[in-house]
Amino acid sequence: MYADPRRRPVTFSVGDRVYLKVSPWKGVIRFGKWGKLAPRFIGPFSISEILNDQTVVLDLPPELAGIHNTFNVCYLHKCKVEDETPLLPLKDLKVDLSKKLVEEPIRIVDRKITKLGKKQIPMVLIEWKHSLGSNITWEIEELMKTRYPHLFDLEQTSRTKSL
């Protein structure tokens, strides 16, 4: 009575190609930090073993070696044969020791000062190297200076060359 009447049972077999849902891992693995625009699935991967009707084992590539290969079927999405293009290219994927996606800033595009009450917060517009192309976000300048000091060194050298 309380179950979703539109829900359909999902069955998988060994050798099926599936996409892996990554959005529930926000605290453990982050495949992007841009909320609605973050990729929801990675893959496709093939199923190597079925443990029971709710648990499967996937063949994961060496880039994802730090991730356990056993998943519940609710994290999988069946891949159609014509849908074999990868949603997130794994060759550009870099995962650090804490199992978070490593994204690198390319350059500083613009600057502005945001007023918050009586405070003035300097902000920088950063272009990020993202696995699906480039992405641009506003970040706090002080935070970016502590994390990526080389980015500000590059900006100062480009300013002196232009003068």
Higher pLDDT, 25 or 81: 81
Distance, in Å, from the CA atom of 125 to the CA atom of 128, rounded to the nearest integer, reads: 10
Q: What is the pTM of this model?
A: 0.48
Please return the burial class of 45, using the count of CB atoms within 10 Å of its CB with bins 0-12, 13-18 and 19+: buried
Q: What number is the average pLDDT over the span 76-85?
A: 70
Strands of the chain, DSSP E: 17-21, 41-52, 55-58, 70-72, 76-78, 104-116, 119-130, 133-140
At 91 the pLDDT is: 61
Distance, in Å, from the CA atom of 34 to the CA atom of 25, rounded to the nearest integer, reads: 14
At 83 the pLDDT is: 52
Domains, the chain, in order of start with CATH, read 17-92 (2.30.30), 104-162 (2.40.50)
Q: How confident is the model at residue 107 (pLDDT cuts 50, 70, 90)?
A: confident
